[in-house]
Structure 1
Amino acid sequence: MLKLSDKPVIAKGERQHVYAHPDDPTLLVKVPQPGTFDADGHLPDAGWLTRRLRRATMYKGFLREFVAYLELKAEHQDPDARLPISAVHGTVQSDLGLGLVYERISDPDGSLPPSLKELMDSGRLEAWHVTALHTFFDTLIAHHVVVSNKNLKNIIFQTEGPGHGRFVWIDSFGCKQSIPLRKWSKRLNTRRLEDLRRLFVGRAEGALGRGSKA
């Protein structure tokens, strides 16, 4: 069992806390925030029918991300393949509950990369980041990646050198539709991703226009 209760939270999601893996610096552990689930692993607002049809609704996001990564990795098994989503390694028991273990993506100095929102808000966004953002969405479309929401915090930018790097989707990927139409249809998923591209690129270009570096 991993002991995380005496470790600092290094990132927060809507319902999760993220910790550095205490035994492996290349990994992170995501656990539900305290008070967000009951003894059976259900979200507090999960209705009776949902509880009957689904087990442990608090962890449905974990399952969705693991399945999405497994399916994508099965199609790209080259060890050097660079996927547009973070690698998911499975689950681990911790003193804070069941955790999802996934890849720690780091900048060259070892720090956690900024999200797209952080780049925009801090004024560090440059024009070449927007070019990289287009490349990122091209990759998502080519790999038929299904994403679950439009949160600018869910993608991070990993710097790989001066004027060079890549975006990675780190949270809320995989299909959450009851009838997985976008998972079944690449055409429908491409349409959704193009809508997200316009939204994300539009906000990034707006940030540049407000005074980020050009």
Structure 2
Amino acid sequence: MLNVENLQLLGSGTIKNVYQHPQDADKIIKTIKPQLVAADGGFAKHSAFKRAVYQGIYRQFRREILQYLQLCKTHYSSGIFQFPIETPYGLVATSEGLGLVVEKILGPDGRAWTLEDLSKGPGLESKHQKALDRFFDDCVQKHIVFGEVNDAGLLYTEQRSGYPEFVLVDGIGEKLMLPVRAMFSTISARYVRKTQRRIQGQLEALSKHESKQLET
């Protein structure tokens, strides 16, 4: 079992902690924050019934792994194992429960740049916008199922495939009780485009706000 006290903490979100993998610089380990977890392995904020069903706090890991397996199955004859989502490599026992081992996505400068970081920091260039458009097109074409996707869950890189791209690292996989998005690519595509319009609208609103501030 890995003691997280001996690992480098790279970041901490609302639900997860992210640690550097101790043996592989190209991998990270995601864990669920223990302060959010009840003794039965469910989220403490959920009812006893909701905590008892499925895999509790690990349901998020399950969705991501199942999505990756489905993509590999679909593209079996092509021998493709890399998609616009982070690649999961397995599970590892840690002092914060099970950790999900995934690939590490970094920007050209060696930092982890989310779409949110780029839009609020240096700003989006033409290459970023083209990469974002291609990301959503690929997700529709490859039938990648979204859960709750936002600009903080998209990481930018140029090293992964040799060209600018965004990679989804959060909100991956079917979240609905009735898995209609996973079952029907047309329904999934509509939701992906809806998410694209929402995120694009947020980016445009931020750009207009910054332009007004510069004028004043």
Structure with bigger helix share is 2
Counterpart AA for 2:140: I
Provide the alpha-carbon RMSD of the alignment: 2.1
In the TM superposition, residue 187 of structure 1 has moved relative to its aligned partner by 1.2
The equivalent residue for 1:146 is 145
Change (3 A) 1:185 1:205: same
> How many Å apart are 1:29 and its aligned residue?
0.3
Residue type at the aligned position of 2:112 = P
The answer to whether the 8 A contact 1:42-1:51 is kept is yes
Partner of 2:104: 104
Cα shift at 1:108 = 4.3
* Alpha-carbon distance, 1:172 to partner: 1.6
Which SS does the other structure have where 1:139 is aligned?
helix
Corresponding residue of 1:22: 22
* AA matched with 1:195: K
Q: What TM-score do the two structures reach when normalised by structure 1?
A: 0.88
Call closer, same or farther: CA 1:202–1:119 in 2, change over 3 Å: same
Aligned to 2:183: 184
Residue 52 to residue 4, structure 1, CA distance change in 2 (3 Å): closer
Give the CA deviation at 1:208: 4.0
Q: 1:124: how far off?
A: 3.0
Q: Which residue of 2 aligns with 1:57?
A: 56
- CA deviations 1:14-46 (Å, max 9, x no partner) are 211000100111111001112111232111122
Q: 1:79 to 1:104 in 2, by over 3 A?
A: farther
Q: Is the 8 A contact 1:147 1:172 kept in 2?
A: yes
Contact 1:148 1:174 in 2 (8 A): yes
- Aligned ranges 1:76-91 → 2 under 5 Å: 76-77=75-76, 81-91=81-91
Distance 1:203 1:141 in 2: 21
CA distance in 2 between counterparts of 1:182 and 1:58 reads 22
Pairwise CA distance, 1:189? 1.0
When residues 69 and 151 of structure 1 are mapped into structure 2, their CA distance, relative to the original with a 3 A threshold, is same
Alignment partner of 2:157: what SS? strand
Please name the residue that 2:164 is paired with.
165
Matched AA of 1:152: D
Q: Which has the higher contact order (CA 8 A, sep 6+)?
A: 1
Match of 1:95 in 2: 95
The residue aligned with 2:32 is 32
Higher alpha-carbon deviation: 165-174 or 8-17 = 8-17
Q: Does 1:44 align with 2:38?
A: no
**Displacement of 1:74:** 2.4
Code of the residue aligned with 2:120 in structure 1: it is D
SS in structure 1 at match of 2:156: strand
For 1:7 and 1:53, the matched residues in 2 are separated by 31
Contact persistence 1:91–1:98 (CA under 8 A): yes
The percent of aligned pairs where both chains have the same amino acid is 29
Amino acid at match of 2:28: L
8 A contact 1:130–1:201 mirrored in 2: no
Tell me how far apart the structure 2 counterparts of residues 107 and 132 of structure 1 sit (CA, whole Å): 13
Contact 1:130 1:204 in 2 (8 A): no
Q: Would you say the 8 A contact 1:146–1:189 is kept in 2?
A: yes
Residue equivalent to 2:214: none
